[in-house]
A and B are shown apart, each in its own frame.
Chain A
Amino acid sequence: MLEAVNLSKSFYYGLFQRNKNDAVKNVSFKIKKGETLCLLGESGCGKTTAGMMIAGLIKPTSGMVLYRKENIFKYRPKELKKFRTRLQIIFQDPDTVLNPRWIIEKSLSEPLRIHGLANGKESRDRIMELIETVGLSHEHLNRYPFELSGGQLQRIILARALLLKPDFIVADEPTSSLDVSVQAQILTIFKELQKKFQLSCLFITHDLHVARCIADRIAVMYKGTMLEEGNAEDIFSNPVHPYTRGLLDSLIIPDPEAVHPLDSNIPITSDRNYTGCKYKELCDYREQICEEKEPVLKK
C-alpha cells in the first residue's frame, strides 16, 4: 500500500551550506493494508524526518515514496490534495498542532471546509460522532487549545485526522509528550480506531513498550540508517543486530548501572569523512571490516 524506496534526506547548514547532515540515509520499507510498521530508534536518529517524507511534507534528497504504486512527489496539485485526505499525520506535541487563536470546533471543521466535503449541520454531525468516538464531548468544542490537557488535545487531533476518512496514518510519537497514565489511554484509543477504520500506520516511537504494544512489524533506525526490519515477534524474540539486542536487554534487565544504548553519548557522525559502520563504537562484534564499509541491510 505504501512503500519507501531508498529514502534519503540531507540537511545542509552553515556558511555556504558547507556542512551536511544525513538525517535519513537509504531507508526502504513496505507497509501493507491494515498493517502497522513501527519505526523504532533513539531521539535524533531521523524518525521524524522519515515520517515527514512519507507524509509528503519534506522532499527527499533522493529516493521516493510510493502510495498505491504512485510516487507522491510526482503528484499534480489536484492529486496531492486528494492524497492529503488519504494520509494523515499526527505530531508529537499536541499543544502546538492547533491554531492557538481558534476554538476547537473551528479547527476540527477545517479539513472538511478545505476539501468542501461538508458544511453546516452535516459537518457538525460528523464532528460530534468522531469526538464521541475518541471519548470527548461537545463541551470541548467551544474551548481554546490552551484550555485542554495534552491528552484531550491529542484525542481532538486524532478525531481531526479521521474526519477525512484516511486509510493511512503517520503517527510521530503521539504519546511521548504525555503523562504515562494518559499514554496508555491514547494508545488504546489509537488501536481501537485503527481497527475500526482499518488504518495502515507508520508508527514512530523511541519507546520499546509502545512498539511492543502496537507494532505488527518493526524497523530499527540508528543515526539515519535502518539496521533491521522484521515481524515484531521475530525482532523481540530473535534480534539480529547487536544494537537491537542491546535495546532489548536494557528492557528486560532493568540495571541502572548498565550503559543504555539510548543514552549513549557517542557524537552523531555527520562528518563527511566518517567511514564504516555507524554503530562500531558501541558494538561488541566489531571487526576490521566495520572500519571500512558501511553495512547494507539485506532482505
Chain B
Amino acid sequence: MSKKIFPKNRLLIFGLFLLTLLIMVSLLASYVAPFDPNYVEVENRLNRPGGKNILGTDGYGRDIFSRIVFGARFSLSLAVLVVLINLCIGVFIGTASGFFGGAVDELTMRLVDILLAFPNIIFALLVIGILGPSIPNLVFALVALGWTNYARITRGLVLSLKEQDFIISIKAIGGGDFYIITRHVIPSIIPFLVVLATLNMGHMIMSIAALSFLGLGVQIPTPEWGSMLSEGKQFIFTHPHVIISPGLAIIIAVFAFNLLGDGLRDVLDPRTKEIIKT
C-alpha cells in the first residue's frame, strides 16, 4: 500500500532529495569544498559573493562556501549523535516503564513530567552554564532533556501494544519478556521512532546552532553554522552575505528533516499522526 502513496508524496521526495544532498556534501566535504575552511587570507576579507569565492569570504578572509560545507558535516554528525543517544535512552526507559509498569514506571514518569516542564534551550543553557562550554557538555546538555520525549511516546505505544492479543498470545506460547520486547514490541514501534527521530533531527540542528551562536557550543574557529553566525553578526549591516549563507544553511537543513519527518509520518502509518505531534 505504501508503495502507491510514495511517488505521490512530492514533499517527502523533496525532503529526501535535500537530505541526500546534505549528507553527500558532509561526507565528501574535502572534495566539495574548494578551499581549506580555516585558511585565513586577510587581503581577501569580506569579499562579496561571486568570483572565486562563490559565497564570498568572512571577516578573516576565509571562504564561506567551504566553511558551510564543513559546517554541514559538523552539524549533522553532532545532531545524529545527540538524537541517537536520546533515542537509545528514551526507548530503553520508555519500554521498561510501559512493559513492566509498577513503581519504576511511576518514578520515571514523574521525572519525565518534571523535566518536560523546562523549556529545552533554557535547560541546556543552565547545564552548560554550570559545566562550561565544550562539545561533550553540549551533547550532555541536549541529552539531559532530550530523551524524555522518546520515553514518553515509547511508553504510551508499549502500553497499548502489550494489551493486544498478538503480544498476549506470544506470552501464552511461552515467549519471555525479553523475547517479546526485542522481537515484537520494539519492531512494531520502529516506524513511530523513525518519524520521531527525523523530526527531532531538525530540532537538534537548530538547538546546536543556537547554543553555538551564544558561544556555548562549538567553539570558534571550528566551521559550524551557529558559530559562523556569531562571528558574522558584527557585519550584519555592512556585509550581510556573511550571515545570510550560514542562516540559510540552517533553515534548509531543518526544513529538509521536517519535510522528511512529516512525509514519513503520513506514509509509514496513518496512526503516527495522532501520536507524534510536532
Contact = CB atoms under 8 A, between A and B. Distances in A.
A91 B169 CA distance: 8
A57 B171 contact: yes
B166 to A, nearest CB: 5
- Most central of B170, B174, B175, B188 by chain A CB within 10 Å: B174
Nearest to A77: B176
A203 B92 CA distance: 39
Interface of B: 164-166, 168-176, 179, 184, 187-188
Contact of B184 (A57, A81, A99, A164): A99
A110 interface: yes
A97 B173 contact: no
A57 B172 contact: yes
B173 A160 contact: yes
B174 A115 contact: yes
A232 B176 CA distance: 38
Interface in A159-173: 160, 164
Given A81-B174, A101-B187, A114-B174, A89 B169 contact: yes
B175 A114 contact: yes
Nearest to A170: B172
A114 B169 CA distance: 13
Contacts of A99: 166, 184, 188
A114 B171 CA distance: 10
Interface string A75-98: 001000100110011010100111
Contacts of A276: none
Interface in A106-145: 110-111, 114-115
A23 interface: no
A214 interface: no
A242 interface: no
A101 B168 CA distance: 16
A97 B174 contact: no
Interface string A203-220: 000000000000000000
Given A88-B173, A111-B174, A160-B173, 12 more contacts: A55-B172, A57-B168, A84-B173, A88-B172, A89-B172, A91-B169, A97-B166, A97-B169, A98-B166, A101-B188, A110-B170, A114-B179
A31 B130 CA distance: 69
A100 interface: yes
B274 to A, nearest CB: 18
Interface in A43-63: 55, 57
Contacts of B175: 110, 114
13 contacts: A57-B168, A57-B171, A57-B172, A84-B172, A88-B173, A96-B166, A99-B166, A101-B188, A114-B175, A115-B174, A160-B173, A164-B173, A164-B174
